[in-house]
Amino acid sequence: MLDFALYVATIAAVYALFALSLNLQAGVTGLLNFGHVAFFGVGAYSSGIVALHGGHWLLGVLVGVVVSSLLGAVIGRLGRTLAADYWAIVTLAVAECLRLVVVNEGDLTGGPQGISGIAGPFSSVSGLAGSLSWLVLCVVLAALAYLVAETLTGMQFGRVLRLLREEPMLAASLGHNITAEKTRVLAVAAPIAAVGGSVYTLYISYIGPNQLLPIETFLVFTMLIIGGIGNNRGAVFGALVIQLIYAGSRFLKDIFPIPDQSASSVRLLIVGLVLTAFLMTRPEGLFAEKLRRIDVHQ
């Protein structure tokens, strides 16, 4: 039981990394990245592939950070001329391309079976000490990401980003280079998710293409909407809630006679309905972002 609680808490901290990263893009800047899972995937597979070739786990994390940052910058540049919904679709397509490559290039990625037996930093530490070390590491990382996100959104940079979201024309007319700002946000946000992906992979010592499905991106959006999109505290809180729903649904199985094969769909259904309910009734989330309204009209 304690093991399970530690597991839930560790995964929640990893989710917080994804949520903080997406919040920088979708929440603060208004970039609806439907392919967010690609950043996670880059981190995860960097760690997996480096481990497969016997590299040190730190190298994997590093490769993930660099590659994801580059990918983020490229996707950000694509946002140059695209309307928001077009950009969302394009990011989804990019993520799906990545998944397709992962499935098909088995020599590199292990194909549909994925890569297992990946050694992480605490592989030699067993039992409770190992679990605790993982938890501490993930919480520290999440806290760091939170600090980075808060600093970024608090700075002048963050104000520019919000202006970009609310009044893109005005931002451009004030001399902000929209493309450059978008590119910069993505180059910063992507590595946060990539680190999450790396840590996740090292923690459960497995990565497979099914973890790159668009559903994962959807989960992170749900976290943001529940917590209050645009708000870093909300993002962390949302990650916790989703993880609790996921953990809780395991016990649901013990109470209600749900066949094993539909357990995962029931879990998704619950999360989907929670998100739908929030969107319908409280789209600003539990912790609404406090905006200092800039009156641009008068």
Q: Which residues bind another protein (CB under 8 A)?
A: 30, 32, 34, 78, 81-86, 88-90, 92-94, 96-97, 100, 103-104, 214-215, 218, 221-222, 225, 261-262, 264-266, 268-269, 271-273, 275-276, 279-280, 283, 297-298
d(CA 184, CA 2): 41
Task: Give me the least distance between CB of 27 and another protein, in Å please.
Answer: 10
Per the CB < 8 A criterion, the answer to whether 171 and 178 are in contact is yes
120 or 228: CB nearest another protein = 228
**Least distance from C-beta 103 to another protein, angstroms?**
7
For another protein, give the closer residue by CB, 3 or 85: 85
Question: Rounded distance, CA 119 to CA 115, Å?
Answer: 11
C-alpha distances in Å from residue 101, one per residue of 45, 95, 191, 292? 12, 10, 21, 44
Residues 6+ apart with CB under 8 A from 189: 21, 22, 24, 25, 39, 72
Please state the closest distance from residue 37 (CB atom) to another protein, in A: 12
Q: Which long-range contacts (C-beta less than 8 Å, at least 24 apart) are formed by 264-273? A: 268/215, 270/245, 271/219, 271/222, 271/242, 271/245, 271/246, 272/218, 272/222
Nearest distance, CB of residue 272 and another protein, angstroms: 4
For the bound state, the minimum distance from the C-beta of residue 58 to another protein, rounded and expressed in Å, comes to 33
Close Cβ partners of 75 (under 8 Å, ≥ 6 residues apart): 33, 35, 90, 91, 94, 186
Q: In the complex, what is the shortest distance from the CB of residue 74 to another protein, in angstroms, rounded to a whole number?
A: 11
Closer Cβ to another protein, 131 or 211, answer by number: 211
Q: Measured from the CB of residue 32, what is the shortest distance to another protein in angstroms?
A: 6
Cβ nearer to another protein, comparing 156 with 298: 298
Q: What is the DSSP string of 212-271?
A: GSHHHHHHHHHHHHHH-TT-HHHHHHHHHHHHHHHHHHHHHHHHS---HHHHHHHHHHHH
